[in-house]
Amino acid sequence: MSFLEIDDLRPERVQRVIDRAIALKSGSVAVPRLLAGQGVALLFEKPSARTRTSTEMAVFSLGGHPIYLRGEEVGLDTRETVEDVTRVLAGYCALIAARTFAHSTLERMVSISNVPVVNLLSDMAHPCQVLADLITMKQHFGDLEGRRIAYIGDGNNVAASLALGCAYTGVEIVVASPDGYQLQEEVVDRVRNIGGNLGLTTEPYEAVRDADVLYTDVWTSMGQEEETAVRRVAFAGFGIDDDLLGAAPDHAIVLHCLPAHRGEEISASVLEGPRSKVWEQAANRMDAFRSLAIELFDDEFRNGKVPSNG
């Protein structure tokens, strides 16, 4: 099976990925050599320090060989079609993980691939990041059910996946965004249809009241650079600074998926402060990916088989 968004897994499997990741990180369970002798294709149309490093180390720790491919090396739909590249990579590798501009690219990969495809980021979703977010919360609080996240900022791909992840784990989420930058209605409907407790507001101070977690992301994502000046104006007042953090409960922690623009969506004092769990959150990306890889090959493990590259 493939993993393009949080709700591609059943809720109980998401919980299992979270709990396994924590166990792997603590050393309470051994890391299986799941990918021994196997390759994993890591295709990056967009660069990322955390995603590349965490996935390469996760594959290595599972005994596999990560193969990093830049977008310009492959030339999706310029040098070769998405489908042709996918067929070739699936012939060499046990898994394909891709960080793409368009979510439709991943869907085309899944339609033709005979090995799992994992979304490392698209314009619509960032599910591996959200697994790391939920792992960080559970590590800190010991539970997820009944917790409350205040997401402050753009209703983007991270916010969409986070809302779905919250719905699957019993976490309430309030998304505070300026007018015109809120979660898409399709995402809101999807979250609420699976029973998610999702609130929407344009008031950051209202959102952080009773919050256990304050979460933010950059105001301008890759591919939106021409909107930077307009977005800085639109998002004024939507940064997590000492004043906004002070309006939250004393036990609240701060998360950010990085990279951070100090002085915009988050202040340096908050990012580097004692309530920031951002660096633990970044480190959990590796544990999230290797736990997910184990889950995707769960049937093969259960039947005593080694995953095949088809």
Asked whether residue 303 carries a pLDDT value surpassing 60, the answer given is no
Asked whether residue 304 carries a pLDDT value surpassing 70, the answer given is no
Residue 7: helix, strand or coil by DSSP? helix
* Gap between the Cα atoms of 203 and 247, Å rounded: 12
* Gap between the Cα atoms of 46 and 302, Å rounded: 35
Q: Please say whether the beta carbons of 7 and 168 come within 8 A.
A: yes
Mean pLDDT of the chain: 94
Q: What is the mean pLDDT of residues 162-185?
A: 97
* Gap between the Cα atoms of 221 and 238, Å rounded: 16
Q: How many CA atoms lie within 13 A of 271 on its CB side?
A: 18
Q: Please say whether the beta carbons of 5 and 158 come within 8 A.
A: no
Rg from Cα positions in the chain: 19
Asked whether residue 301 carries a pLDDT value surpassing 70, the answer given is no
Q: What is the pLDDT of residues 54-113, one digit of tens each?
A: 999 999 999 999 999 999 999 999 999 999 999 999 999 999 999 999 999 999 999 999
Give Cβ neighbours of residue 97 (< 8 Å, ≥ 6 apart).
Answer: 40, 41, 42, 43, 55, 117, 118, 119, 120, 289
Residue 226: per-residue pLDDT? 84
Query: Which residues are identified as catalytic?
Result: 99, 126, 129, 217, 257, 285
Q: What is the pLDDT of residues 197-208, one digit of tens each?
A: 999 999 999 999
Comparing CA positions, the residue from 285, 278, 281 lying closest to residue 262 is 278
Q: What is the pLDDT of residues 23-46, one digit of tens each?
A: 999 999 999 999 999 999 999 999
* Gap between the Cα atoms of 59 and 135, Å rounded: 19
Asked whether residue 298 carries a pLDDT value surpassing 50, the answer given is yes
Residue 302: per-residue pLDDT? 42
Domains in the chain (CATH in brackets) are 6-126+285-302 (3.40.50.1370), 128-282 (3.40.50.1370)
Q: What is the pLDDT of residues 214-271, one digit of tens each?
A: 999 999 887 778 888 999 999 999 999 999 999 999 999 999 999 999 999 999 999 9
Asked whether residue 192 carries a pLDDT value surpassing 80, the answer given is yes
Residue 299: per-residue pLDDT? 62
Per DSSP, the residues of 219-255 read SS-TT-GGGHHHHHHHTTT-SB-HHHHHTS-TT-EEE
Asked whether residue 307 carries a pLDDT value surpassing 70, the answer given is no
Comparing CA positions, the residue from 207, 296, 219, 211 lying closest to residue 263 is 219
Quick one: how far is CA 135 from the chain centroid?
11
Burial class (CB in 10 A: 0-12, 13-18, 19+), 3: buried
How many of the other CB atoms lie within 10 Å of CB of 77?
14
Output DSSP code: residue 8: G
